[in-house]
Amino acid sequence: MVKISPSVLTSDFLSLADDIKKLEAAGVDMLHLDVMDGIFVPNISFGVPVIKSIKAHSNIPLDVHLMIDRPHRYIKEFAQYADYLGFHYEAGSDNAELLKEIRELGCKSCITIKPCSSAEEIFDLLPLCDMVLVMSVEPGFGGQKFMPSALDKLSKLKAESERLGLEIELEVDGGINGETAPLAIKAGATVLVAGNYLFSAENMAERVDYIKNI
């Protein structure tokens, strides 16, 4: 069954605690936490203090997505609270060494690719990954339309991980809703990041159930 990792960036932060309780009750599998630095992406979101607070008050695994420049500078700090810890292939670090470090620090490792990067560019990194995140929108902004090119990348990553005998979660982030979720799952996605689709719903649990039963 597919896993759901709601992006809390869509939440009203004044009611974040209540929203997390609703997500817990709805049966989501992770919480997707987008960390933006205003350099790698234009926006700025939140950092370690917010994630530390969420970790202290929720048992849902934390899926931390670093959209930051030179992520190697902050891996140890975020690894204290993340369950999955991911960074961008395009962010200018030694990707292989960083993936190894994340695992050594006790987190599951994730590499993320923007729409401009191909699946083939990260094939050599797959043995070091517990999850791969395919961006189906440009990182840094919510509410964008799903890019169909992500489907081909998911299919290629699924085929290559199976060829290598690897069990890797394939996550997709951006524009996920009732129409795009089935397409992503068919292409090989095992984890869906959903923001507006869940937080705009009168009943989050109904939409979670719909996706999980596709």
Residue 173 designated active-site? yes
Dihedral (Cα; 135, 102, 169, 153), 10-degree rounding: 40
Mean pLDDT of the chain: 95
3-state secondary structure of 2: coil
Smallest CA-to-CA distance from 167 within 151, 143, 191, 195 is with 191
Structurally, the chain folds into a number of domains equal to 1
From the candidates 19, 29, 130, 173, give the one annotated as an active-site residue.
Answer: 173
From the candidates 19, 34, 63, 130, give the one annotated as an active-site residue.
Answer: 34
CA dist 115 and 138 (Å) reads 6
> Is a pLDDT exceeding 80 seen at residue 92?
no
CB 102 within 8 A of CB 66: no
Average pLDDT (113-123) is 97
Residue 34 designated active-site? yes
CATH of the domain at 203: 3.20.20.70
CB 153 within 8 A of CB 113: yes
CA dist 110 and 126 (Å) reads 9
CB 67 within 8 A of CB 88: yes
pLDDT interval class at 143 (50, 70, 90): low
Q: Which residues is 108 bridged to in the sheet? A: 84
**40-87: pLDDT as tens digits:** 999 999 999 999 999 998 999 999 999 999 999 999 999 999 999 999
Q: What proportion of the chain, given as a percentage, has pLDDT over 70? A: 99
Which comes out higher in pLDDT, residue 141 or 183? 183
User: What's the confidence (pLDDT) of residue 142?
Assistant: 64
Q: Which helix (H) or strand (E) holds 191?
A: strand 191-193
pTM for this prediction: 0.95
> Is a pLDDT exceeding 70 seen at residue 133?
yes
Note down the domain range covering 201.
3-212
Q: What proportion of the chain, given as a percentage, has pLDDT over 90? A: 87
